[in-house]
Amino acid sequence: MPSNDLTLAFSLQALEKLTRPERAFDDAATWSSYIGIVSSESSFVERRRVREAGYQQDFLSGPRSIEEALSSIRSHFETDRYVFVGTDETDGIAETVPEWTFQSVTDAATAADWQLGTTPSTSDDWP
């Protein structure tokens, strides 16, 4: 049986592929030690989307690449496993960061009984 001593990072794009991303995020938080979001979006866009969705995360990626964010998260959070839930576009990223495992949002949704679909996209305009 897999350990729940897990750091779980969602890509913002993966969450947007779920019908009820806030429920999936809350559900994952019940079986993960640390959970958060990484994105290649600019910091203000990422933070605004997270704030609007009401995600209660332990970390955000900040103004850096997803690879850099995953490396930083790994050095700050000690757990048995590190899983990055992403999309086809982010498939190869976890392979470049030691100790991280990639899980497609489709496979994660199937395993966790989350519904795939589209969520209304927020505008990238500021504010």
pTM of the model: 0.86
CATH number for the domain running over 6-112 = 3.40.50.1000
pLDDT in tens, 101-120: 999 999 999 999 999 986 55
Packing angle of the helix pair 105-112, 21-30 (nearest 10 deg): 70
Q: What are the extents of the domains in the chain?
A: 6-112
Distance spanning both ends of the chain, measured CA to CA: 45
pLDDT in tens, 26-73: 999 999 999 999 988 888 888 888 888 888 899 988 778 999 999 999
pLDDT in tens, 2-33: 567 999 999 989 999 999 999 999 999 999 99
CA 37 to CA 85: how far, in whole Å?
9
